[in-house]
Homo-oligomer: A and B are copies of this chain.
Amino acid sequence: MNNYNSILENIARFVMLTEEEAKKVTSIIRTTKVKKRQFIVQPGFVCQHRNYVVKGAFRVYHLDDDGKEHTVSIGVEDWFVTDFYSYVTQTPATHYAEALEDSVIFQFKYEDIEALCKEIHALSEYFRLTTEKAFAFSRRRVISNISKTAEERYFEYLEKYPNIANRVPQYVLASYLGISAEFLSKIRSRRIKKS
């Protein structure tokens, strides 16, 4: 089952699974191909899956009352993408999750994950540890968003995730950083002229 190496290696970075446990985990996986611009989560529908990106890129965004898009997260290989609030509370989603490229994902159903976490201690630990980490990092982002200027945030992101920044459209990055596409464009041209 070379197929499932990426997710199993990811899990192995946090906990040890027995061969049998690993089989149980991979047995609940559904592999799905997703075309660019296709949605895997849409408002109104309960988000049923934790989606692990095997190949490709996604963004999760919210559409507000004024029709503006706010990108909550950008996920590439080895990341999970969902409307996490919808997934955790099993209530209708308020976000879109959209493929930015032709992609392949592993889908884990909510009920399957919950059942397996109750059965396999190590899997529970895996999700505890990874969620704690994700939460900790998201806190940093909240701080960054409210205590830094748009320009600082942009260059911070560039430095931290250069590959992602150059892989996704600029308007996606702008809406992730909480600024308008026009203003991001202006920030960039400003810096180019300086150097």
Q: Which residues of A contact B (CB under 8 A)?
A: 62, 64, 68, 70, 72, 84-85, 87-89, 117-118, 121, 124-125, 127-128, 131-143, 145-148, 178
Contact = CB atoms under 8 A, between A and B. Distances in A.
A180 B159 CA distance: 29
Main secondary structure, interface of A, reads: helix
A139 B82 CA distance: 12
A128 B136 CA distance: 14
B147 A68 contact: yes
Contact of A142 (B134, B138, B147): B138
Nearest to A71: B146
Given A72-B143, A147-B62, A128 B124 contact: yes
B147 A145 contact: no
Given A142-B142, A147-B62, A135 B72 contact: no
Contact of A85 (B85, B87, B140): B140
Given A124-B121, A124-B125, A125-B118, A84 B147 contact: no
A146 B178 contact: yes
Contacts of A138: 135, 138-139, 142
A14 to B, nearest CB: 12
A178 B89 CA distance: 26
Contact of A131 (B135, B137, B147): B135
A125 B131 contact: no
Given A118-B125, A140-B85, A70 B147 contact: yes
